[in-house]
């Protein structure tokens, strides 16, 4: 097996290759003066099963993903598995207003044109995977998150909204802690309203878990409610730290006691690694003979 790291996911690709004890090639990706992407894979040939690790965020990385797949195929890859740690556009999985595109579907249809298999991590809506023409599977970061927080003195696990309720359940059950979700109403792209928690959080160390933090509006509103209800501490963790603008500063400079995310997106707080979870899945796939089918 050979792991190829695209420009969004170099550290994760390197870590994955160490875990799988295989070669890692980092795509040399630059921009032409007009902004178009140039990429190149070092070496003469790739006669092996190839795993490409690259996000579909930001938009420019989508083009790089197409180009790396084509280069790998031309260099003789026996099979191509795309590991998409953060699948951008998954929140636009249906038509909300007439005239809109089905963005997530468009992405899946086009990204899956060359590859043999796709792996995502905590994709916002799993139904999006049905749009890939090859087998596609979503892995969960809950195990890595629960393991990280096991000895951090957490009393309660809460999701900031109903959409993340299953995540809180999964992590709460793994940590053998009570869990629940808050009720959120989105007022605009940056503003949300969160109702007081049903669970008594007075004197508790609370862990808020979400899939994505973008502006941080959801997490700030949830934290304000929990601190007002007497929570001793509020730790926040998400899988994908998108952190638009100065979201990290706004969040860490507020009432939040700790902020962490997984390394599906690279940032200064991406301290929880999903490499082990992805490596386990790739090893299983190899055993089941899922690679090498072109
Ligand atoms: C929403 O459904 C997602 O799970 C996140 O809660 C949301 O994307 C977070 O966005 P923001 O940080 O901008 O509130």
Ligand 1 pocket test: which of 168, 214, 248 has the largest number of ligand atoms within 8 Å of its C-beta? 214
Q: How far apart are CA 152 and CA 162, in angstroms?
A: 25
Q: Which two tokens stand for residue 261?
A: 């995310």
Q: What length does the chain have?
A: 294
Ligand 1 pocket test: which of 212, 220, 245, 259 has the largest number of ligand atoms within 8 Å of its C-beta? 212
Distance 290 CA to ligand 1 centre (A): 34
Q: How far apart are CA 111 and CA 186, in angstroms?
A: 30
Where does 60-132 show beta strands of DSSP type E?
79-84, 117-121
**21: burial class by Cβ within 10 Å (0-12, 13-18, 19+)?**
exposed
- 3 state SS of 184: strand
> According to the model, what pLDDT value does residue 266 have?
96
Q: Which residues are catalytic?
A: 184
> According to the model, what pLDDT value does residue 294 have?
40
> According to the model, what pLDDT value does residue 191 have?
84
Pair 123, 129: CB distance under 8 Å: yes
Q: What is the mean pLDDT of each run of 10 residues along the chain (294 residues)?
A: 98 98 97 97 93 97 97 97 97 94 96 96 95 96 98 97 96 98 88 90 98 94 95 98 95 92 98 98 84 51
> According to the model, what pLDDT value does residue 290 have?
67
**157: burial class by Cβ within 10 Å (0-12, 13-18, 19+)?**
buried
CB of 239 closer than 6 angstroms to any ligand 1 atom: no
Distance 210 CA to ligand 1 centre (A): 8
Q: How far apart are CA 129 and CA 18, in angstroms?
A: 28
**Ligand 1 atom closest to the CA of 211, numbered from 1:** 4
Distance 104 CA to ligand 1 centre (A): 16
Ligand 1 pocket test: which of 213, 243, 267 has the largest number of ligand atoms within 8 Å of its C-beta? 213
CB of 215 closer than 6 angstroms to any ligand 1 atom: yes
> According to the model, what pLDDT value does residue 208 have?
98
Distance 66 CA to ligand 1 centre (A): 28
Q: How far apart are CA 178 and CA 171, in angstroms?
A: 10
Distances (CA, A) of 117 to 14, 126, 137, 138, 292: 20, 15, 8, 11, 10
């Amino acid at each position: 097996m050979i792991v190829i790291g695209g420009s969004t996911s170099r550290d994760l690709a390197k870590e994955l290759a160490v875990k799988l004890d295989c070669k890692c090639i980092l795509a040399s990706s630059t921009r032409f003066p007009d902004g178009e992407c140039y990429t190149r894979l070092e070496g003469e040939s790739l006669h092996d099963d190839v795993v490409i690790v690259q996000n579909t965020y930001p938009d420019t990385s989508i083009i790089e993903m197409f180009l790396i797949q084509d280069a790998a195929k031309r260099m003789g890859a026996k099979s191509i598995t795309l590991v998409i740690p953060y699948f951008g556009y998954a929140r636009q999985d249906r038509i909300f207003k007439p005239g809109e595109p089905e963005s997530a579907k468009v992405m899946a249809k086009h990204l899956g044109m060359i590859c043999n298999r796709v792996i995502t991590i905590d994709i916002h809506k799993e139904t999006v995977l049905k749009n890939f023409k090859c087998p596609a599977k979503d892995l969960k970061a809950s195990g890595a998150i629960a393991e990280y927080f096991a000895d951090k003195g957490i009393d309660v696990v809460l999701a900031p909204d109903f959409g993340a309720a299953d995540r809180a359940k999964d992590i709460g059950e793994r940590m053998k802690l009570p869990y629940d979700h808050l009720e959120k109403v989105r007022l605009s792209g940056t503003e949300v309203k969160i109702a007081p928690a049903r669970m008594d959080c007075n004197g508790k160390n609370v862990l808020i878990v979400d899939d994505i933090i973008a502006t941080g509006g959801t997490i700030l509103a949830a934290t304000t409610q929990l601190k007002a209800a007497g929570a001793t501490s509020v730790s926040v963790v998400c899988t994908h730290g998108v952190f638009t603008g100065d979201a990290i500063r706004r969040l860490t400079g507020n009432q939040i006691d700790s902020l962490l995310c997984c390394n599906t997106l690279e940032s200064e707080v991406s301290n929880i690694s999903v490499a082990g979870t992805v490596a386990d899945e790739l090893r299983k796939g190899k055993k089941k003979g899922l690679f090498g089918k072109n």
